[in-house]
A = this chain, B = another copy of it.
Amino acid sequence: MPKKTASQVCSGRSRVQHFCHACDIKRLLETNTDYDRVLSELASGLCNRGPFQPGERIYYANTSASSIYAVSSGAVKTEMPNDGGHLQVTGFYLRGDLFGEEALGESRYLHDAIALEKTWICEIPKATLIEQIQENQSMLLDLFQLLGRRTRTTGLHRINRQGQSNAERVMGFLKDFAEQSSQRFKQDNGQTQLPMNKEDIASYLAITPESLSRILKRLENAGAIRNYTHAFALIDDNGASETQCCCNG
């Protein structure tokens, strides 16, 4: 799995380019016609933070939110307590993904954000972002696009589908995640790495880990996937790639 080793010290523009070459925030910046100037201005407010260790919290729900974030390297999950008081996972974020953006219009975060692996994040103060938007109209359009993209890819309609069995919901999640992951990482063996554990996935899909385990076994027996501890592989319909048996992960 591609990972970056980087110095913790922030040192201007090269830092941003180093961390965020596929980052949502950088994509915002690139659309700016006066890229160099804006980047340098933003860089004065930006700060890369890390490394966060697996399980370490990046921010807590209901704490003051003055910044939004993007994943520079590693992976992040967000979770929040439901009515029963149990924490439920509400989102997974890979390299480049924006997170914490629900706090743009509020003073406090809605979720806890937790690193899934060794993770670096790119922090952008809301005040800085808003200033830049005020000066550059295309930046606002791009921000709208970023916010809408997550709604479209991981919104309610993607998880909570009528007339679909839990097996289909699991399959949908795997396909979506594989696509998200393939846009960010090379996968030469057809496998998709899972930075989170099965319990997190079950929590996200609102099913029990036992059910998830049984569903994955059923899908594997049906020849739809291969199931590993921290990875999976989608088998295409003709079962061509089923022949290659690589059991690492």
Mark A residues whose CB is within 8 Å of B.
80, 82-84, 86, 88, 90, 102-106, 110, 130, 133-134, 137, 140-149, 151-152, 154-157, 159-164, 168, 172, 202-203, 205-207
Contact = CB atoms under 8 A, between A and B. Distances in A.
A40 to B, nearest CB: 22
Counted per complex, copies of this chain come to 2
Contacts of A80: 157
Contacts of A145: 105-106
A146 B202 CA distance: 31
Given A148-B104, A159-B156, A163-B86, A137 B141 contact: no
A66 to B, nearest CB: 13
B130 A141 contact: yes
B206 A161 contact: yes
Contacts of A147: 104-105, 147
Contacts of A90: 155-157
Given A102-B152, A105-B148, A148-B105, A163 B130 contact: no
Contact of A162 (B88, B144, B156, B157): B88
29 contacts: A82-B161, A82-B163, A82-B164, A83-B164, A83-B168, A83-B172, A86-B163, A88-B161, A88-B162, A90-B157, A102-B152, A103-B148, A105-B141, A105-B142, A105-B143, A105-B147, A105-B148, A106-B145, A106-B148, A106-B152, A133-B133, A134-B140, A140-B140, A147-B147, A155-B156, A156-B160, A160-B160, A160-B206, A162-B203
